[in-house]
Amino acid sequence: SNIDEIKECNIFIITVPTPINEDKTPDLEPLIAASKLVGSIIKKDSIVIYESTVYPGVTDEICTPILEEKSNLIFNKDFSTGYSPERIVPGDKVNTIEKIKKVVSASSEETLKIISFIYSSIIEAGIHAAPSIKVAEAAKVTENIQRDVNIALINEMHQLYTSLDISTLDVIEAASTKWNFMKLTPGLVGGHCISIDPYYLMHKSEVSGYVPNIMRSARKINDEMGNWVVENFIKYSEDNSINLNKTEIIIMGYTFKENCNDTRNTKVHGIAKSLRDAGFKIMIWDPYLDDETIKALKKDNILSSKTRPDNIKLAFICVYHKEVLNFLDSYNGFIYDFRKLNKI
């Protein structure tokens, strides 16, 4: 937090957020600001390594010129750069940083050796040296886009099978008996990676003159999944003769994934707002909520709590926290679970 503390360093790792703007174009301001700051203090023989998720070309075409300008040093003579994408998964206690192979890249062979040595000192799984910085940048967005596209396919199938009164879970279990079937389940795609990163490569693609049709379609399906969930929930309530005007809806889970406190870009927020705007009484229960999020939700006229409310009549399952699953084991009231993965 104090720039004076890093002025004597010669290796810098920049891992700031890379969000998107309201129009879903890349917001590179945090990355640009960090590059300006580091550029103002680097000296001869410094190495600047970027870990933030970007589209191919950002390190070379945007960040490096800023470092040169601010430092008055010559790139690949006085200083060099590298790129090694962050791969850790929020909430994952098994696949921790030292157990995930690290992709590394650099602007020169000598710098690649140094960066490889640094990361291999803590990464037990080893490293993979990419042939260029652009390849490493592309590899990171490709990982997340592949997952986004495959989840979108499952989400689309789930909507279809639900309309046909077929259990998506049963279909997945049957299909996964083949060795090369990719076993994914339907869900709300939020968070700071899978729901954001595709827009970076889509932006680069469109600027380059190529239309990324599959990526576009996948993002549309996953972005609109919450709308389908709300419509399906209202149908469920009608089918079960539930008077939503007189029944409090307890939304179970708010974070973007189970068993973690990360609420970035959670799709549950959109669901809660849709139900609120429809005039229904709602309450969010999530044991992983922090006080700041609870206050922010209250300002948005959405009540929430870390403590499970009493006298629940209608449980709306959004996130499979272990606490939610434990509650469901002994609950006999109405349960709406859009995924129906537990055959509830």
Q: What is the pLDDT of residues 300-313, one digit of tens each?
A: 999 999 999 988 99
Q: Give the DSSP per-residue string, 193-249.
A: TTTTHHHHHHHHHHHTT---HHHHHHHHHHHTHHHHHHHHHHHHHHHTT--TTTS-E
User: How high is the pLDDT of residue 342?
Assistant: 47
Which of 63, 193, 260, 318 is catalytic? The answer is 193
Query: Catalytic site residue 63?
Result: no
User: How high is the pLDDT of residue 164?
Assistant: 95
User: How high is the pLDDT of residue 1?
Assistant: 87
Output DSSP code: residue 62: I
> Which portions of the chain are predicted below pLDDT 50?
342-344
Taken in order 211, 214, 220, 222, the sign of the CA dihedral is negative
Closest CA to 150 of 200, 194, 193: 194
Rounded Cα–Cα distance for residues 278 and 281 (Å) = 9
User: How high is the pLDDT of residue 343?
Assistant: 42
Rounded Cα–Cα distance for residues 108 and 111 (Å) = 5
Task: Find where tokens 């995924």 sit.
Answer: 339
Apex CA 153: angle with CA 148 and CA 159, to 5°? 120
Instruction: State which H helix or E strand residue 284 sits in.
Output: strand 282-285
CB hemisphere CA count around 64 (13 angstroms): 20
According to DSSP, the β-strands at 303-305 and 282-285 are: parallel
Q: Please tell me the pTM assigned to this model.
A: 0.91
Rounded Cα–Cα distance for residues 288 and 306 (Å) = 7
Sheet with 334-337, edge to edge strand ranges? 303-305, 282-285, 249-252, 314-317, 334-337
Q: Residue 156: phi, psi to the nearest 5?
A: -65, -45
The count of other CB atoms within 10 Å of the CB of residue 31 is 23
User: How high is the pLDDT of residue 341?
Assistant: 53
